[in-house]
Amino acid sequence: MQEADGRRRVVVVGAGWGGLSVAHKLSMDADTDVTVVDAAPRPGGLVSDSFLTPGGRRAEAGQHGFWDEYHNIFALLDSLKLPEDPLTGYAEQGQYSPQGLEAVWPVYRDQKQKLPTGLGQALYTRFLKLPLTDLASAAPLVLAFSEFDGSEEAYARYDEISFYDLCVKLGVSRRMYDEAFEPMVLTGLFAPGNQCSAAAALGMAYFFVLKHQTSFDVRWCRGNVGEKIFAPWVEQMMQRGVTFVPSTRATGFVTRGQRRAEEAAAAANNDDAAPGATAAAARADDAAIAAVRCEGCEGDGGASSTLLEADEVVFAVGAAALAAMVRGAPELSRHAEWRRYARLRGTGVLATRLYLDRRLETPYSANACWGFDRGVGMTWFDITKLHGLGDEKKGEGDGSDGSDGSDGSDGSDGSESGDGSESGDGSESEVESEAAEGSVIEVDFYHAQSLLVMSDEQIVAKAKADLDTMLGADCAAAAVLDAAVVRLPQAVNWYCPGSYADLPSLRSEAVPNAYFVGDLVKSAHGSWSQEKAYVTGIEAANAILGKPDGDGIVPLDADEPHVKLGRDAVAAARSAWPLPGKPPSFADFLF
Ligand SMILES: Cc1cc2nc3c(=O)[nH]c(=O)nc-3n(C[C@H](O)[C@H](O)[C@H](O)COP(=O)(O)OP(=O)(O)OC[C@H]3O[C@@H](n4cnc5c(N)ncnc54)[C@H](O)[C@@H]3O)c2cc1C
């Protein structure tokens, strides 16, 4: 089913980290033609800067950090040979509640001594108010981390219970949970701990916080990721022949079986048709996808109705979009494997960016918060510092390199902008010159369904009021000149208890030429979020190209010796279980 010249045609649906990654690796293969279709006007998926403020300033779908274990994305950035490092240095981060500063995360790599993981984070993280007894109540979680090694078996055991239940049963104190763990899960998994599986929380926390003492050290982008990383990356891929089709939605599929049936029907109408051709074709029940139907997104100038012929199809979309696709495509919903994707869910995120009329002094450029809205996660960022806005005017750096410690729709595709328009140029230079006098602060909310229903004006007022609470009189005196309100209903994958069994693997079983990439795909790599989406893209490209599974992928380091010791001990105890039946798990003791 390849083109007459023997070239492989791959259609990638979705241009987030996952879709761009698979296109990147495939574009290195001289015999492969790649077409990337995305419903949004600009690439990047959840990291896209497709949004504009009423004043024409470009805004992103929230702030995105690059943590210390993002080895593959860092390798990509090196390979792109960009004119400047797009990422900031490392810097301390703050944690606020309505009562003020609650905790400071230091730059763990800068601490005098590198300690075994777990101990380093416990000793160096500065909780300003949380009593030691509450901190100590987290210790039993070590047992769960020792048993949860990221294997399929571990997922099966820990996915059925919520992270909240795990904490309660292991004796974590209420205060420790509310002030440390709940905010972490709300910002890391975008949903409250009682609605997230313990497996997802343990896997995410191990990757982001516990792999090494330095794992939680994070870098941010010196500008919008869309401008600093995706634009030059996409440009390089286009030069290698990748076709990008923006503002265009994949809406249906033609299977090879349907194609053959059509061809046979046409042949039957032809007097010269060989006897029996129709019957032979009717027997051909090939579930593989022969073509992807696409429709331009109204008003966004996308391709009108098109049929993209495909030898391989990569689904690089989030959970809610995949569920919507199955609902709308009988070619997919006939398979039990795909019907289970209809159970996948997304949760809502709200990203705001406020342009203030005066420069604010902020202690930390990246901050997490708790205690403002029950069940809603919250972070805020000093974009002025992270993007180095107004640096030229001041004639000095303000820490965007981290040197001074200050900084080192329908929801199926998950995005709606406040004004929904693409007008204005939103150029960085225009914004920079205005920001020389003022501050730009991003406030993002997670699991934010209860806020998404507010009007833009109400949302801006709420974000500003929360900032006033944390930053005090100077902030309260500042006026909002312009603001982005980016609504992302159902946009981020929701790892609710029991959801792991429904997640797709890299390759579809029922549709032989369909692959899945993105942060919802099961992967043994152990990474999460952007890094995972990027890694699964390489994994899918390897499968399509017939390369070894790990080709071009930087694996995570081995577990530190004491972690390995703990995991080996738990595994040995389980395998030596003397009674009939499965050995109990720490998760079992919870009931
Ligand atoms: C506010 C916020 C903050 C975050 N912070 C961080 C962070 O600090 N660090 C981090 O690593 N991660 C962070 N994340 C998560 C990160 O954004 C995701 O892990 C990552 O972007 C997922 O990439 P993806 O390629 O899997 O999917 P997505 O980015 O969701 O891309 C899917 C793409 O598919 C397209 N699509 C959907 N349906 C169709 C269709 N039918 N036809 C065509 N196209 C379609 C969509 O338009 C979209 O572009 C954050 C996310 C949000 C929302």
Structure confidence by residue, pLDDT tens digits, 384-410: 999 999 765 454 433 444 433 333 333
- Residue 56 per-residue DSSP state: S
Q: What is the DSSP string of 503-515?
A: S--SB-SSSTTEE
Q: Specify the pLDDT at position 172.
A: 96
Alpha carbon distance 251, 215 (integer Å): 40
CATH superfamily of 11-45+230-344+502-545: FAD/NAD(P)-binding domain (3.50.50.60)
349 lines ligand 1 (CB under 6 A): yes
What is the rounded average pLDDT for all residues in the chain?
Answer: 90
Residue bearing the CA closest to ligand 1, atom 34: 14
Pocket test for ligand 1, best of 36, 63, 64, 295 (most atoms within 8 A of CB): 64
Under DSSP, is residue 539 helix (H, G, I), strand (E, B) or coil?
Answer: helix
Report whether residue 62 contacts ligand 1, using a CB cutoff of 6 Å. Answer: yes
pLDDT tens for each residue of 130-183: 999 999 999 999 999 999 999 999 999 999 999 999 999 999 999 999 999 999
- Identify the H or E element spanning 154: helix 152-158
Would you state the pLDDT for residue 376? 98
Q: Is 332 in the pocket of ligand 1 (CB under 6 A)?
A: no
What CA–CA distance (Å, rounded) separates 549 from 535? 11
For residue 255, give the nearest of 285, 292, 282, 289 by alpha carbon.
Answer: 289
Provide the percentage of residues in the chain whose pLDDT is more than 70: 87
Which is the closest atom of ligand 1 to the Cα of 530? 11
Q: How far is the CA of 394 from the centre of ligand 1 (A)?
A: 35
pLDDT digits (tens, 9 = 90+) for 91-115: 999 999 999 999 999 999 999 999 9
Question: Is 45's C-beta closer than 6 angstroms to any atom of ligand 1?
Answer: yes
Residue pointed to by tokens 């702030």? 63
Which residue lies with its CA nearest to atom 46 of ligand 1? 413
The alpha carbon of 159 and the centre of ligand 1 are apart by a number of angstroms equal to 23
pLDDT value at residue 405:
36
182 lines ligand 1 (CB under 6 A): no
- 428 band by pLDDT with thresholds 50, 70 and 90: low
Q: How many residues does the chain have?
A: 591
Q: Distance between CA atoms of 265 and 263, rounded to whole angstroms?
A: 5
Give the per-residue pLDDT at 431.
53
Has this prediction a pTM greater than 0.75? yes
User: Which two three-digit tokens encode residue 127?
Assistant: 């909780």
163-169 long-range Cβ contacts below 8 angstroms, 24+ apart = 163/193, 163/194, 163/196, 163/197, 163/198, 163/200, 163/201, 163/202, 164/192, 164/193, 164/194, 164/196, 165/194, 165/198, 165/590, 166/141, 166/198, 166/201, 166/587, 166/590, 167/141, 167/193, 169/589, 169/590
Q: How far apart are CA 427 and CA 282, in angstroms?
A: 56
Query: β-strands 58-59, 346-356: how paired?
Result: unpaired
- Give ranges for CATH 3.50.50.60 in the chain: 11-45+230-344+502-545
**Ligand 1 center from residue 113 Cα (angstroms):** 37
Q: Reply yes or no on whether the pLDDT at 17 is more than 70.
A: yes
Best residue for ligand 1 mutational test, from 292, 369, 530, 539 (most atoms within 8 Å of Cβ): 530
Give me the pLDDT at residue 525, please.
Answer: 97
**Is the minimum distance from the CB of 521 to ligand 1 under 6 angstroms?**
no
Q: Which of 226, 114, 224, 135 is nearest to 177 (CA)?
A: 135
Q: How far is the CA of 221 from the centre of ligand 1 (A)?
A: 16
Cβ-Cβ contacts under 8 Å for 249 (sequence gap 6 or more):
37, 39, 294, 295, 296, 297, 302, 413
pLDDT of residue 402: 41
Q: What confidence category does residue 436 fall into, taking pLDDT thresholds of 50, 70 and 90?
A: low
Pairing of strands 312-315, 8-13: parallel
**Beta strands in 256-333, from DSSP E residues, in sequence order:** 289-296, 306-309, 312-315
- Which pair of structure tokens corresponds to residue 157? 């055991």
CA atoms within 13 A on the CB side of 85: 12
- Token pair of 516 as six digits: 């899945």
Contacts of 427 (CB under 8 A, 6+ apart): 58
Q: Which residues pair with 523 in a beta bridge?
A: none
Q: Whose CA is nearest to atom 6 of ligand 1?
A: 64
For residue 531, which atom of ligand 1 is closest to its CA? Answer: 11
